[in-house]
Amino acid sequence: MMPAPGQTSPPNDTTKLMQNICTKKYSYELIEQSYLDSRTNYVFRLADVILCKAEVENELNGPSAALPYLNEIRARAGAPEYGDPGFPIPASKDEMAQKILDERGFELVFEFHRRNDLIRFGKWVETTNNYLQSMGAGVTVTEDMKYFPYPLVETYLHDEMANANSSRYLH
């Protein structure tokens, strides 16, 4: 089982806690040491498009319009669909948006979508601060920090970029 935060021992003698687990989603033996080692990397995934469609339908037409797209992804993954026993259909736009965000996290894990998804759904600051707090970090992020600073070379060429970096990141 996946341990709960702070859990250090299993609930019984037949259960083993999963700790220090990593993904092998993109693990493979390198052929060359160069960055471009003749491998094909995905550019766009159909699951991403379907989840984007669910997001759009939810915003425009409500949760019932988004449900078929969300369930399509869950069915393909072998997960229970919303409407099955124990998985009630999200009733509001906000509840459906959270389910879509959660599903994007499951489906697109380790594909570098999460930060942008959290920003788009308006949950980046809250989620990041909750994580930092749970890890005992004495750092708090703000709305301004969701934007990356301008590249250093560009700030040498454009004073307004240097000033924007200073006002945003040097508090």
CATH number of domain containing 98: 1.25.40.900
C-alpha torsion sign, points 22, 26, 31, 36: negative
The boundaries of the domain holding residue 109 are 46-123
- Indicate whether 117 belongs to any domain: yes
Candidate from 35-49, 83-97, 138-152 with smallest mean pLDDT: 35-49
Quick check: 79 pLDDT over 70?
A: yes
Residue 3 in contact with residue 21, Cβ under 8 Å? no
Gap between the Cα atoms of 88 and 61, Å rounded: 19
pLDDT of residue 93: 97
Which residue, among 152, 139, 145, 151, has the nearest Cα to 167 in the 3D structure?
145
pLDDT of residue 112: 87
What is the number of domains present in the chain?
1
- Indicate whether 165 belongs to any domain: no
- Indicate whether 162 belongs to any domain: no
pLDDT of residue 36: 59
Q: Say which residue, 114 or 4, is predicted with more confidence.
A: 114
Quick check: 149 pLDDT over 60?
A: yes
- Indicate whether 114 belongs to any domain: yes
pLDDT of residue 168: 67
- Indicate whether 10 belongs to any domain: no
Quick check: 34 pLDDT over 70?
A: no
- Indicate whether 150 belongs to any domain: no
- Indicate whether 107 belongs to any domain: yes
Tell me the one-letter amino acid at 144: D
Which pTM value belongs to this model? 0.75
Quick check: 25 pLDDT over 70?
A: no
Quick check: 117 pLDDT over 60?
A: yes
As a whole number, mean pLDDT of residues 13-20 equals 82
pLDDT of residue 35: 57
- Indicate whether 129 belongs to any domain: no
